[in-house]
């Protein structure tokens, strides 16, 4: 999971959302109304859903990857706070994320744990906060460990350590190293176009959380220990020119801040 920036909706789509939000709020049974409108209303299905899906696809990492696992194609509009639990947020743009079928229908479903003391959500919303402050990826093994209660709940609910993701992340780590070395070679030769292409393609790979974690961990005070035995890679990840190249361009579009410690 990586940090993503939410983009504003076109005015017409916002007007649709406000119209249907009013209808849910004024209904005698908001949940039933929200479900009916969201799932069966023709205008919602033909005009609202496609526009939301398109905007979420632009916000997502890579080629419209799931905002939770980062691996599969995001094909469903997920209500971060489930419609069944809070129908009043059914048409709230801030509550819409892009998810794959596995994360949305098999794992998250209607789970939405809250802090027992203050009631705040315990799942990470990558459009609201930096997931890597709550999750630490072991680059050699591809597994996440939690740094907070939010991290713990997110790993559990989204099944972030399911075997297919763990294996995929170890490959993604190898792939990211290859991209970084290729970028370094192109940069050294002054081949600017190739260097820019490599940055874009590196971020467009599935499981971009691995590349984001590499930059994140290298900037951490524990960076030298985390990259022990990988001096060349650590030097590249902490080099200001590398960080400037990978922290702008296509990353700006996805809101990834690779330079953030
Ligand atoms: Zn997913």
Residue 17 CB-half CA count within 13 A: 20
Asked if 44 and 62 count as a contact pair (C-beta separation under 8 A), the reply is no
Give the distance (Å) from ligand 1 centre to CA of residue 115: 24
Residue 133 alpha carbon to ligand 1 centre in Å: 20
Report yes or no: 210 and 139 within 8 Å, Cβ to Cβ: yes
Cα(49) to ligand 1 centroid in Å equals 19
Reported pTM: 0.90
228-243 residue pLDDT tens: 999 999 999 999 999 9
- The CA–CA distances, whole Å, from 75 to 47, 63, 65, 103, 210 equal 16, 11, 9, 11, 22
C-alpha 227 to ligand 1 mean position (Å) = 28
Structural domain spans, the chain:
11-158, 163-245
Q: What contacts 21, CB < 8 A, 6 or more positions away?
A: 88, 90, 91, 92
Phi-psi region of 121 (alpha: psi -120 to 50; beta: other; left: phi over 0): beta
Q: Percent of the chain at pLDDT above 70?
A: 95
Q: pLDDT band for 108, please (50, 70, 90 cuts).
A: confident
Ligand 1 centroid–CA 137 distance in Å is 17
- The CA 165 to ligand 1 mean position distance, Å, reads 10
Query: 118-132 pLDDT, tens per residue?
Result: 999 999 999 999 999
Could you tell me the two tokens for 112? 């939405």
**Å from CA of 189 to ligand 1 middle:** 38
Mean pLDDT of the chain: 92
pLDDT at 257 over 90: no
């Amino acid at each position: 999971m990586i940090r993503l920036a939410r983009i504003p909706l076109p005015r017409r789509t916002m007007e649709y959302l406000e119209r249907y939000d009013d209808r849910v709020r004024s209904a005698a049974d908001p949940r039933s109304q929200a479900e009916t409108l969201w799932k069966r209303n023709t205008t919602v299905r033909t005009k609202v859903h496609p526009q939301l899906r398109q905007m979420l696809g632009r916000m997502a990492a890579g080629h419209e990857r799931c905002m939770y696992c980062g691996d599969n194609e995001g094909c469903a509009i997920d209500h971060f706070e489930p419609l069944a639990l809070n129908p009043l947020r059914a048409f709230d743009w801030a509550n819409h994320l892009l998810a794959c079928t596995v994360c949305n229908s098999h794992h998250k479903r209607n789970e939405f744990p809250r802090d027992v003391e203050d009631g705040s959500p315990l799942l990470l919303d990558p459009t609201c906060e930096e997931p890597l402050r709550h999750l630490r990826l072991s680059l050699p093994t591809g597994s996440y460990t939690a740094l907070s209660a939010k991290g713990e709940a997110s790993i559990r609910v989204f099944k972030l350590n399911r075997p297919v993701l763990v294996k995929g992340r170890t490959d993604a780590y190898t792939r990211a190293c290859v991209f970084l070395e290729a970028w370094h070679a192109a940069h050294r030769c002054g081949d600017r176009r190739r260097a820019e292409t490599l940055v874009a393609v590196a971020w467009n790979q599935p499981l971009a959380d691995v590349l984001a974690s590499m930059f994140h961990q290298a900037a951490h005070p524990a960076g030298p220990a985390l990259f022990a035995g990988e001096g060349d890679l650590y030097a590249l990840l902490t080099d200001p020119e590398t960080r400037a190249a990978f922290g702008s361009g296509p990353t700006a579009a996805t809101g990834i801040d690779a330079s953030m410690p």
